Amino acid sequence: MKKYFKIFLWVLLAVAVIGTFMFLWQKSKAKPKEYQIETVTKQDTIESKTVITGTVEPRDEVLIKPQMNGIVAELLHEAGDVVQSGDVIARLTVVPEMIQLSQAESRVRMAEISYEQGKESYARSKDLFDKSVIALEEFEAAEANFAKIKEELSNAREAMEIVKKGASSRTAKHSNTLVRSTITGKILNVPVKVGNSVIQANTFNEGTTIASIADMNDLIFVGKIDETEVGRIRLGSPMRISVGALGKESFPATVEYLAPKGSIVNGAVLFEVKASVHIPSDRVIRAGYSANAEIVLEGAYGVPAVPEACIEFSGDSTFVQVVKAEKPLQTERRQVKTGVSNGSNIEIKSGLKVGEKVRGIEKTEEKK
């Protein structure tokens, strides 16, 4: 009995050893990889896009400057007002220069002296003509000379008035003391206050800006694009402009300018891009709003496509693993020609047909 019992123990031990060995061997054996199976489908739209950051600005911003030196006496408009071309924005008072004032006063005194002399001479000539002592021609010459003297006195007085006030009573409507808008648009900024001294533009300085005005119905997007993408954009290319302050709404735009020269920004070469923006009349856009422009670099429409993860790269060539059987998985490596990619799906120009199946990415076990 003991003999059979020992044999049984040895058999049991052998089975345990063999079982343990088989368990460890099975556990150490690599599990076959499982892959997702993707089907070649026809995609309506595959577009490669890029996003450009920038701002929305008026196409033309005009700086209004005075045509004379002076002090701001009155501001008739403020930022946000809409003005027409010719509207008065500000009124200036003149601070006359002493030399000019002295010269103007001297000219008036000389003209007054000439006037008194001319008046007496004209009176004598008229008296002699009435007595038929001098001929008509001589009287007319005296009359013309007196009229000339009166005009010189009037001009001298007007010149002195302009030096003192910046305008005369005759030229008040066209006075340089009235600063007028040169365009129709919205006032963006009025950087001066009543009492500020202002100077006119000349060879040595740009002059003081009274106001900046722009047509807010004619807006453009201004941004910068990287050198790696600028070559894929053309004049006339469409884009969509999203203004952060207006939420998710976007507006159509058209590229109208690409800078011929780049600038280095933080080590990267960037090129300026400008695009005309088409804003509905019921939307209020402010100058300087930050915006993003989404532009389609290239697109393919109604073409066969597969997930980009299915593509294998080898040098300049691209391949896919075409599924021949699913269980067990059997594939055939095939070269394909690819086209436009949107980062998710990629166009297949040749090598695959709609409906064929290809091997995708490896399946991963979900963590419990």
Q: Where are the domains of the chain?
A: 35-45+302-362, 50-58+216-298, 61-94+173-214, 98-165
pLDDT of residue 368: 46
Which of 129, 116, 66, 61 has the alpha carbon at shortest distance from 92?
66
**What is the mean predicted confidence (pLDDT) over 102-122?**
79
Higher pLDDT, 220 or 323: 220
**What is the mean predicted confidence (pLDDT) over 127-156?**
80
Q: Give the C-alpha distances (Å, rounded to integers) separating 76 from 60, 69, 173, 198, 284.
A: 23, 19, 16, 16, 24
Q: Please report which confidence band the pLDDT of residue 173 belongs to, taking 50, 70 and 90 as the band edges.
A: low
With a cut of 70, say whether residue 171 has pLDDT above it: no
pLDDT, tens digit, 9 for 90 and up, residues 15-65: 676 767 666 656 555 566 777 888 888 988 888 888 999 999 999 999 999
Fold assignment, 98-165? Helix Hairpins (1.10.287)
Cα separation, 97 vs 78, in Å, equals 30
Fold assignment, 35-45+302-362? 2.40.420
Cα separation, 345 vs 301, in Å, equals 12
Domain 50-58+216-298 falls under CATH 2.40.30.170: yes
pLDDT, tens digit, 9 for 90 and up, residues 193-237: 999 999 888 888 889 999 999 999 899 999 999 998 888 888 998
Q: Which of 25-29, 105-109, 297-301 is most confident?
A: 297-301
CATH of 61-94+173-214, picked from 2.40.50.100, 1.20.1440.230, 3.40.50.300, 3.90.400.10, is 2.40.50.100
What region, left, alpha or beta, does residue 182 occupy, with left being phi > 0 and alpha being psi -120 to 50 degrees? alpha
pLDDT of residue 193: 94
Distance between alpha carbon 90 and the CA centroid of its chain, in Å? Answer: 29
With a cut of 90, say whether residue 269 has pLDDT above it: yes
Q: pTM for the complete prediction?
A: 0.64
Q: Across the chain, what does the average pLDDT equal?
A: 83
